[in-house]
Structure 1
């Protein structure tokens, strides 16, 4: 009886893993963007050009999916090379010591149809904190190669000082709040 119970548990666990799908971010159809207030009067925008990520789960059951994301901090791009070099320095991201930012989900909460709260751990430099992204599910389509493609927009606002990105700590020239917007397409593998 114990052997049958053990085999049944293995079968159910194996079927559950097989029923899940893996989706990998399509960098050609995705972007990781941010904006920060400058001198209190306007915003400076930028993006990170190198990143990867994955969703393990089903678009029909997003609440039970897991999300992983990594960003190469050195790929920061504000369109001004001198500013980008400064952002890579010890004043901001210290890319030689901390080359990657990462996010790992801890839960997904459905707010209403097509809208979710993505809870997880965001690691920037030597700090990992709980954070929540507001996510809008854009839908599912078939890609040109026949694969399933799912789309999302995710937004968040963090205080950069919480992550030891502490240049201009008073926020007089560079705002403390960083507004993050991700436009993401994931392809089924």
Structure 2
């Protein structure tokens, strides 16, 4: 029994040290944007973005398939450029921000498709629904930032059905399309 406890403690300590030894990156909000567009009246698109978010990567681009990625969005920060529409999006008809103030993503796996292209699999939570999603990711590369730390960049794209996440105003999609096209331009700074 004593040896089993010592072994478990040893495994926990080694695991903790290996996590600390991994690179950690934090999203740079000044060079990141979380964008979406939705079809309007079947003839054009309305676009918008979320202005407040945070996120990070634990891992390294040398072994990107082993990295872990997480991202959180303050849903009340939605901005389509029209205050009345943004207020409506914050209401119970759409995001219900008082009850569900954030949406989140956490990776479950990363698959390399080609040199700079990846499939980012994970759990996307919006309101009270969490679903498996896959983002198509383009790795833009790595540069040294102003303070000498590594900066990495990505573009991530996906299309989700808003009804799957109980964002169900206009369920017949007569005026507001069901598909939400997401494009996220990301920069992360190494900590």
Q: TM-score, normalised on structure 1?
A: 0.94
**Alpha-carbon distance change, 14 to 102 in structure 1, aligned in 2, over 3 angstroms:** closer
Q: CA RMSD in A?
A: 2.0
Which residue of 2 is the match for residue 131 of structure 1?
Answer: 133
Measure, in 2, the Cα distance between the counterparts of 1:7 and 1:77: 48
Q: Which contiguous aligned blocks of 4+ residues in structure 1 show a shift greater than 2 angstroms?
A: 5-19
Which residue of 1 is the match for residue 151 of structure 2?
Answer: 149
Match status 1:165 vs 2:167 = yes
Which residue of 2 is the match for residue 43 of structure 1?
Answer: 45
Which residue of 2 is the match for residue 122 of structure 1?
Answer: 124
5+ residue gaps, structure 1, are none
1:106-131 C-alpha deviation (Å, 9 max, x unpaired): 00000111100000000000000000
1:122-155 C-alpha deviation (Å, 9 max, x unpaired): 0000000000000000001100011110000000
Which residue of 1 is the match for residue 77 of structure 2?
Answer: 75
Bigger mean CA offset, 10-19 vs 21-30: 10-19
Measure, in 1, the Cα distance between the counterparts of 2:158 and 2:17: 35
1:60 Cα deviation from its structure 2 partner:
1.1
Which residue of 2 is the match for residue 102 of structure 1?
Answer: 104
Measure, in 2, the Cα distance between the counterparts of 1:13 and 1:89: 43
Measure, in 2, the Cα distance between the counterparts of 1:6 and 1:91: 49
Count of paired positions: 189
Measure, in 2, the Cα distance between the counterparts of 1:11 and 1:47: 41
1:59 Cα deviation from its structure 2 partner:
1.2
Measure, in 1, the Cα distance between the counterparts of 2:169 and 2:13: 54
Q: TM-score, normalised on structure 2?
A: 0.93
1:16 Cα deviation from its structure 2 partner:
2.7
Which residue of 2 is the match for residue 55 of structure 1?
Answer: 57
Q: 1:91 aligns with which of 90, 93, 109?
A: 93
1:17 Cα deviation from its structure 2 partner:
2.5
